[in-house]
């Protein structure tokens, strides 16, 4: 076992190996991270995993292009199919026939694609501050995707994520900046979202008629004060997902699972145990 908590185990997924954290027992719950610079499964779910592993088997992978998942130098990203294919291969590799999905931001968009393309492989969905609805790229998302590897830029990036600025500690900034400094990490990240960036936000969106076919019980959770993804995105998705409910949290930015961890975990546990 690695002494680095960001590294779990490696599972072959096509032409590369996926770094994934697997913990606990019970119904399988797939946790998908967002798309910020330096993000990985551990960064998003490090408090969620130990709190939920007594009720669910948590599977939290680094998506290809992020974290410690091996991204081949010549890998061609296909929005959103590259990640859909990765997750299905990962589930097959782990012997998981069906799972709940909890998706954060970009991971929320991916959860919708998974449910649309492989409906029989997934149970209930939780979409937290998700993308997946056509909006313009705002200045904060533009800044996050146009990341520059300096402490100042990382602090700015972390600051727009949180309503509670006390969470943006020097330790957090240093951890995320270190993650961006691994050989090749920033090169992979910049390959994902080159300018013009509107096309990558648009590419996450399923057509309305497809959204309306997603029959999975779905919980949308959004911070009222989210400055990265407008809460209206969740409201619009809610209008077209036939079996959805929406929970909006005050004094909360884009980091629901961190800023309001106990509440978020209760909502997820109740929804996925129903």
Residues assigned a catalytic role: 105, 226, 254
The pair of structure tokens assigned to 28 is 């399988």
CB 9 within 8 A of CB 22: yes
Render 54-97 in DSSP notation, one character per residue: TTSEEEEEPPTTSTTS---TT----TTHHHHHHHHHHHHHHT--
* Cα–Cα distances in angstroms (integers) from residue 182 to residues 66, 67, 186, in the given order: 11, 9, 8
Q: Which helix (H) or strand (E) holds 127?
A: strand 122-128
Taking alpha carbons only, the member of 106, 105, 100 closest to residue 82 is: 106
The pair of structure tokens assigned to 243 is 């079996």
**In degrees rounded to 5, what are phi and psi of residue 32?**
-115, 125
CB 181 within 8 A of CB 173: no
User: How far is residue 232's CA from residue 245's CA, in Å, rounded to a whole number?
Assistant: 14
User: How far is residue 200's CA from residue 85's CA, in Å, rounded to a whole number?
Assistant: 18
Burial of 190 (0-12, 13-18, 19+ CB in 10 A): middle
The residues that bridge with 207 in the sheet, in sequence order, are none
């Amino acid at each position: 076992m690695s002494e680095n908590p960001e590294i779990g185990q490696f599972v072959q997924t096509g032409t590369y190996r996926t770094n994934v954290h697997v913990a606990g027992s019970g119904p399988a719950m797939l946790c998908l991270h967002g798309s910020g610079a330096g993000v990985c499964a551990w960064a998003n779910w490090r408090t969620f995993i130990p709190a939920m592993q007594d009720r669910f088997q948590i599977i939290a992978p680094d998506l290809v292009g992020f974290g410690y998942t091996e991204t081949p130098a010549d890998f061609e990203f296909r929005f959103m199919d590259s990640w859909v294919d990765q997750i299905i291969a990962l589930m097959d590799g782990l012997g998981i026939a069906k799972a709940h999905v909890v998706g954060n931001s970009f991971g929320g968009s991916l959860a919708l694609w998974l449910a649309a393309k492989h409906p029989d492989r997934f149970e209930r969905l939780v979409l937290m501050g998700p993308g997946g609805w056509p909006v313009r790229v705002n200045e904060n998302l533009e800044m996050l995707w146009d990341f520059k590897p300096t402490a100042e830029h990382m602090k700015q990036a972390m600051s727009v994520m949180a309503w509670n600025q006390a969470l943006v500690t020097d330790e957090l900034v240093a951890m995320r900046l270190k993650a961006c400094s691994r050989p090749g990490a920033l090169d992979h990240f910049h390959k994902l979202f080159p300018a013009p960036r509107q096309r990558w936000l648009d590419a996450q969106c399923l057509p309305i008629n497809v959204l309306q076919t997603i029959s999975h019980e779905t919980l949308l959770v959004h911070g009222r004060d989210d400055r990265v993804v407008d809460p209206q995105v969740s409201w619009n998705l809610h209008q077209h997902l036939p079996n959805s409910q929406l929970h909006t949290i005050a004094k909360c930015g884009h980091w629901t699972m961190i800023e309001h961890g106990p509440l978020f975990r209760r909502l997820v546990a109740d929804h996925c145990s129903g």
